[in-house]
Amino acid sequence: MPDFIVSMSLIEQLLLTSALSGTLVFALRALMMFMGFGNHETEDSSDHLLDGGDMGVDADVSADTDTHELVSISENCDYCLKPLSVQGLSAFFMMLGWVGLSLINDFGLSPLFGVLGGILAGSFTVFLLVKIYRFFIGMQSDGTMRVQQAFGSTGTVYLRIPKDGKGQVTVEIDGRLCTRDAISEDGSEIKTGEKIEVVWVDSEGLLKVKPVAEK
């Protein structure tokens, strides 16, 4: 064991262990999230909620159902951001260790005040992470909400929707004209310029549309 560790008090050794283990776990979790691992359970459950469990659900699903699904998704995302998650706990112990050691060794505070300062720093870090994550989740949820508002609206085909294929339509969402990917409700072809009505919006924002007769 290195001499500088042997010369530490028991409290300092515990803080160093907390700092190193917390940093390692926090870095690994952050890397996994960046690479797309570790959050598949939330994505799968969220997709299930937005899809309504079955793409074959009748097209007359009410707007209330869509709102309920979006609320459920928000709750699901919040589960990943709770302070007792792996990411939250690792951030807490990381800051507890490093700040505690710094207060004891660099500022000459007693071990008691070093530990208390580390606990405050760790708690603040977890609080800050939760706020940042919820901010980005909120931005994503707002975008999903706007797309869901396309349900029941009418528009026109921008790019021809081929038989059993995907095209693009122009519809009004939240007071703005938007161009979105779309498929035909019954798999039939819908030509460019034809008027359509949105009968479903899936979890990826893909619209399912049907042609409507010109009045």
Domain residues for 188? 154-211
Per-residue burial over 68-80, b if 16 or more Cβ lie within 10 Å, else e, is: ebbeebbebbeeb
Burial class of 122 by CB neighbour count within 10 A (0 to 12, 13 to 18, 19+): buried
Per-residue pLDDT of 151-166, as tens digits, reads 888 999 999 999 999 9
Secondary structure (3-state) at 74: helix
For residue 113, which phi and psi values (nearest 5 degrees)? -70, -30
Shared domain for 89 and 162, answered yes or no, is no
Q: What is the reported pLDDT for 190?
A: 95
Shared domain for 67 and 161, answered yes or no, is no
The total number of structural domains in the chain stands at 2
Q: What is the reported pLDDT for 44?
A: 43
Q: Output 85 or 24, whichever has higher pLDDT.
A: 24
Shared domain for 126 and 85, answered yes or no, is yes
Distance (Å, rounded) from C-alpha 134 to C-alpha 75? Answer: 11
Shared domain for 30 and 109, answered yes or no, is yes
Is pLDDT above 70 for 179? yes
Per-residue pLDDT of 17-76, as tens digits, reads 999 999 999 999 888 877 866 544 444 433 433 343 343 333 333 334 343 344 333 444
Per-residue pLDDT of 100-136, as tens digits, reads 999 999 999 999 999 999 999 999 999 998 888 888 7
Distance (Å, rounded) from C-alpha 117 to C-alpha 130? Answer: 20
End-of-domain residue from the set 114, 129, 148 = 148
Shared domain for 111 and 198, answered yes or no, is no
Q: What is the reported pLDDT for 57?
A: 36
Q: How confident is the model at residue 215 (pLDDT cuts 50, 70, 90)?
A: low
Q: What CATH number did the domain enclosing 178 receive?
A: 2.40.50.140
- Considering the entire predicted model, what is its pTM? 0.52
Q: How confident is the model at residue 148 (pLDDT cuts 50, 70, 90)?
A: confident
Among 7-16, 134-143, 148-157, 171-180, name the most confident range.
7-16
Q: What is the reported pLDDT for 155?
A: 93
Can you tell me the mean pLDDT for 183-193?
93
Q: What is the reported pLDDT for 124?
A: 97
Please report which helix (H) or strand (E) contains residue 199, including its range.
strand 195-201
Q: What is the reported pLDDT for 37?
A: 63
Q: What is the reported pLDDT for 146?
A: 72
Distance (Å, rounded) from C-alpha 70 to C-alpha 209? Answer: 21
